[in-house]
Structure 1
Amino acid sequence: MKLSPPMYKFWLFMMMFLIMGQLCLLMGAVSPVIFEWEITQLVSCNFVFPLLFDTYSVVFLTVVIIISSWVSFYSNTYMSGEIFISRFIWLVFFFVLSMSLLIMVPSAWAVMLGWDGLGLTSFLLVIYYQNKSSLSAGMITALTNRLGDIFLLINFSLLSGGGQWGFYYITAGCYGLALCISVAAITKSAQLPFSSWLPAAMAAPTPVSALVHSSTLVTAGVFLLFRLVHIIESSELLKYFLMYSSMCTLVMAGGCAVVENDIKKVVALSTLSQLSMMVFSLSLGLSDLAFFHMVVHALFKALLFMCVGIFIYMNGGKQDMRSIGVMWSQAPSVVACFSVSNFALCGLPFMGAFYSKDLIIESMYTFNLGVLPMMMIYIGTGLTLVYTLRLYFAMWGSTEGTPLTGMRCENTYFGGAEFAMVMSVLFCPFVVQLCVSLEENVFVNYYEKNMMWMVLITSFLFIVLVKKRELVLPYKLYHYISGMWFFQKISAQPLSSQVLNTSGKLLMSLDHGWNEIIGGRGAYKLFKMMMIMNQEFQWNLMTTKILSGLMFISCFLVWFLWFV
């Protein structure tokens, strides 16, 4: 049987997945290996191309390849109506290639290439549909990521002073490098105050969202922080900065997801809350738990986005979660896959995310964090359960507002991708646990252990009250929460309007003002006026001389005729 081009891409990805899986098992038993190829030497700087093969890079690259392969398989049907499907596939390919470069090459210039490659391809994918909302979202995404690129360029210049480009040469006392890397990482991972671009990136096609929000763009910053966690641990100020930024992001994203009705944005905000949990664990020095949670989150979030994409596909493009109540009767297998990924999101026992989130929260008790950080973590965890149950009730809820017609989901590509991702969600965490050591001996007392049960019960009662409409938020509070604490407006329209207004005033006062007067055009007018004055003066002088001559001749003729 002759395979179509999407099938060739799928089997190519699967072959890479099998190879990386074998390396993954191998790396669990051997020490990290670095291969370096020296490209050139310029003065005191060595340009080398290193490849780092250790447990973390191989495991994470394997997960990226798993998700990329099934997203490509899934896109064969979801994007079947597109005219320029080859352009879309190539953009996704370069997107994955940039992420692979960032994972496997621990060099500043290679990370910069991968970082900029992710930013450029994400911008092109967000504006793929080329309408007003997509272009606006793409501009916010590009500008926010470029802000992080500035700090990465500063880091690049600081490293060049030492003559080495490898990140593994950075020691624990480099506070300037640590600050630049941390700010660049939180812009890419959408932590406060740089969170507004992540929900805006939902303008991209759903297969892109499944890839971006699971294992590539948003996790690039977390993976960079994970690689340089020893630098973060050396600075108390930097640890507190990352901790409070992640905790505020966790509460903000959870509250916004509770009141949001766009199902795609709800899943995007859930990504934001899980990223904040990873950054929080890195700020505490729990790097292995953060990595395990990142891998597990990548798997179930890709499955969640794929299921949401099928719901939107069957619903005629509508993304309102209040209109998907009939999906359980039209696509029971998709709803089952959605339920698996949704329960993994909230940390249901025996799911992969349960082990990482439970260990992170229990390990929190071993640090003297104080009351405020612990309360924020409890609130953020409770809000995670609230919006998860809200999605679940919407899936099995009323069919009011559901369209009378819809498309059936009877496609081999959809079914195969769902089955493969469900198997990955259920069994890959076990394989990852074999490769990554999670031997965390945490001892908590009776009250600390039962505190999470109180949070869960309170969250369940809250969603029941909201479901029965016995708890209604005031309009101003609703507007504040749904607007991401006004960060969406602060980081988008006001900043851009202030910059544009300032630029307009500078344009009118300088380019169209003083520069016109003292610049080329002003000099031209001045010289032209001086030439006209000189010409008039010369013309007047000549006229005066001619008139004087004529008067002299006239007087001479009168005198001559009178006396002669």
Structure 2
Amino acid sequence: MYSNFLLIFCLIMLFLSFYSFLSDSILYFKLSFLDLNYQILGDWISFSFLFLVGLISSQVLKYSIYYMSGEVYYNRFGYLVVLFVLSMMFLIISSDGLSLLLGWDGLGITSYALIMFYSNPKSSSSAMITALSNRVGDVLILWGLGLSYFLGSWDYLYFTLESGFAFVLLLLASLTKSAQIPFSAWLPAAMAAPTPVSSLVHSSTLVTAGIYLMIRLSPIFSLSGSSILLFLGSITALFSGFVALGEYDFKRIIALSTLSQLGVMMFSLGLGYPLLCYFHLFTHALFKALLFMCSGVVIHASGGVQDIRRLGGVLSMLPYSSFVLSAASCSLMGFPFLAGFYSKDLIIESSEMSFMLFPSFLIILAALFTCFYSFRLLKISITALTHNFTHFTKGEDGLYIGPLFVLYWGAILGGYLFYWFYLGSESILVGYFEKFILFMFLFTGIFLGLFYDLKMHSFFSFLNSMGYLPTLTGKSSFFILKYGDEITMTGDQGWLEFLGPDSSVKMSSFISTILSYFTSSSYKIMILVSYLVLMFC
């Protein structure tokens, strides 16, 4: 029922997006309740992104019927997914601090509940890491909106460079939500969630919230760009691609590819091209949701095996899913005329035209790593001979054919259709030499992925632990958490307790003891009234 409703909703949003873009109009609503103003902003970006979220979530809910059919608490899972999607929709149409907080904190709460859905120690710890990491961004959002209130308005869309520290706080909050370095440790940990949740989180909801907020704030720095975003985006894309080369977990490889593409989006924001960033955000959501759905099919059919070294022969057992997975991987790598090609190629070419040699080299090297680990994944798990370590308990199932079919055409044609309708006048022409260098890097990555695998055991622990980033970020927080314990002991359990609840209990017991000495009710009433008058004075 929910999937059909979301499908109708996304079609309505698509029509509104076309209308808003062609008429160059913006719909603006303000709802007042208890002296609080709730502002809603509707332009072609918000309507098109609502269409994308509705389309992907509707297919994910249909896919969940297949993947979560054996779960006892399936209805609870469905309600949490709907709340998760609604929180993202509130964030998309937000225009002021109240509506932003409603979507931002809603994503944090529902993502915590969804990640720990299986209620085992691994999912519980992963959910706590995700919640605490995102809580840093929540605190920064509260600080930034508090400062903006003193500037005269909660309307963060009208921030300027004069907003100063308030804008910096929103920028840092976006970095935590989009898992940029050094806040990247929580993203692979979120793989403890069910695969349908992963396909939502990594495509169009949780990790895209920070990028979407930065796109909304982009008029502040779109003219000159930002060297900080340029540096963090390129480093994040390169680092995550390098870590994925030594990873053997099916879902973690796809999660690290999400982190790499988030770095590419942040890099395009640093270049001063927010529209290209949104273009890549749109196309990335289509093929990334498809990648996670295909990985869930393989894992579900093989009895829960996620180590790609134990797979093999998937092509013979799941031919349709293997074909769709290969197409989605090629779209991720930026194969010509697929969805990822149009957005990713525009970003790389714009960086080459900006004459930024070092950041452009890092992004091209990250694209090489993307081809490397994508073809390595396909070679080991899909096209390799059967390893005889895994018994496939299920074959192709009709329940997930429909969602895969819909998102498959999105991963194939989504980039072309978006470019044709919204960016028809946007074109970047580079020389033959720059094109040749780009294609040489891509084919080098394909060659390495097909014929080479990392055997360096000394680097395996380094790559498998994300360069020890979770350990470093965890230990760096011990110093701050130590002060939290001291504040709790001296504050909440100390003088606040003495002056607050503890003193109230002692005072009330003292008054009751005094009143017990008077047998007459009139005396009790008189003393009680005098005590209340004294307290009032």
TM class by shorter-chain length?
A: 0.7 to 0.9
Does residue 186 (structure 1) correspond to residue 175 (structure 2)? The answer is yes
- Structure 1 residues 307 and 464: alpha-carbon distance in aligned structure 2, compared to 1, 3 A threshold: closer
- Structure 1 residues 509 and 437: alpha-carbon distance in aligned structure 2, compared to 1, 3 A threshold: closer
Q: CA deviation at 1:225?
A: 0.4
Structure 1: how far apart are the matches of 2:447 and 2:410? 32
Structure 1: how far apart are the matches of 2:385 and 2:489? 58
- Structure 1 residues 82 and 14: alpha-carbon distance in aligned structure 2, compared to 1, 3 A threshold: same
Larger radius of gyration: 1
- Structure 1 residues 136 and 447: alpha-carbon distance in aligned structure 2, compared to 1, 3 A threshold: same
Which of residues 401, 406, 415 is equivalent to 1:420?
Answer: 406
Partner of residue 268, structure 2:
281
Q: What stretches of structure 1 of length at least 5 have no aligned partner?
A: 1-7, 516-520, 522-564
Structure 1: how far apart are the matches of 2:492 and 2:37? 46
Which of residues 117, 126, 131 is equivalent to 2:106?
Answer: 117
Which of residues 224, 231, 246 is equivalent to 1:244?
Answer: 231
Partner of residue 251, structure 2:
264
Q: CA deviation at 1:178?
A: 2.3
State whether residues 137 and 172 of structure 2, in contact with CA within 8 Å, keep that contact through their aligned partners in structure 1. yes
Cα displacement string for residues 242-273 of structure 1 (whole angstroms, at most 9, x for unaligned residues): 11111111111101111100000000000000
Which of residues 295, 304, 311 is equivalent to 2:291?
Answer: 304
The correspondence of residues 379-394 of structure 1 with structure 2, limited to 5 A, is 379-394=365-380
Structure 1: how far apart are the matches of 2:172 and 2:372? 30
The correspondence of residues 243-392 of structure 1 with structure 2, limited to 5 A, is 243-369=230-356, 371-392=357-378
Partner of residue 71, structure 1:
60
The TM-score, its normalising length taken from structure 2, stands at 0.87
State whether residues 199 and 265 of structure 1, in contact with CA within 8 Å, keep that contact through their aligned partners in structure 2. yes
Partner of residue 386, structure 2:
399
Which of residues 87, 91, 113 is equivalent to 2:76?
Answer: 87
- Structure 1 residues 434 and 53: alpha-carbon distance in aligned structure 2, compared to 1, 3 A threshold: farther
Amino acid corresponding to residue 355 of structure 2 in structure 1: N
Which of residues 192, 195, 198 is equivalent to 1:206?
Answer: 195
State whether residues 59 and 432 of structure 1, in contact with CA within 8 Å, keep that contact through their aligned partners in structure 2. no
State whether residues 55 and 435 of structure 1, in contact with CA within 8 Å, keep that contact through their aligned partners in structure 2. no
Identify the range of structure 1 (125-134 vs 450-459) with the bigger mean alpha-carbon deviation: 450-459
Partner of residue 129, structure 2:
140
**Cα RMSD, aligned residues only:** 2.6
Which of residues 414, 429, 448 is equivalent to 1:462?
Answer: 448
Structure 1: how far apart are the matches of 2:412 and 2:440? 28
Structure 1: how far apart are the matches of 2:321 and 2:82? 26
Q: CA deviation at 1:496?
A: 5.4
State whether residues 311 and 387 of structure 2, in contact with CA within 8 Å, keep that contact through their aligned partners in structure 1. no
Q: CA deviation at 1:508?
A: 9.3
Structure 2: how far apart are the matches of 1:499 and 1:328? 50
Does residue 10 (structure 1) correspond to residue 3 (structure 2)? The answer is yes
Structure 1: how far apart are the matches of 2:492 and 2:222? 49
Structure 1: how far apart are the matches of 2:42 and 2:129? 35
Cα displacement string for residues 364-404 of structure 1 (whole angstroms, at most 9, x for unaligned residues): 122232x432221121111011011112212101311432x
Cα displacement string for residues 198-248 of structure 1 (whole angstroms, at most 9, x for unaligned residues): 000000000000000000000010010011111134676xx1111111111
Structure 2: how far apart are the matches of 1:39 and 1:509? 41
Cα displacement string for residues 128-187 of structure 1 (whole angstroms, at most 9, x for unaligned residues): 111111111111101110101111111111121133222332234323232111110010
State whether residues 288 and 438 of structure 1, in contact with CA within 8 Å, keep that contact through their aligned partners in structure 2. no
Amino acid corresponding to residue 11 of structure 2 in structure 1: L
Partner of residue 443, structure 1:
429
Partner of residue 29, structure 1:
22
Cα displacement string for residues 41-96 of structure 1 (whole angstroms, at most 9, x for unaligned residues): 86xxxx43222221111111101000000000000121111111111111111110
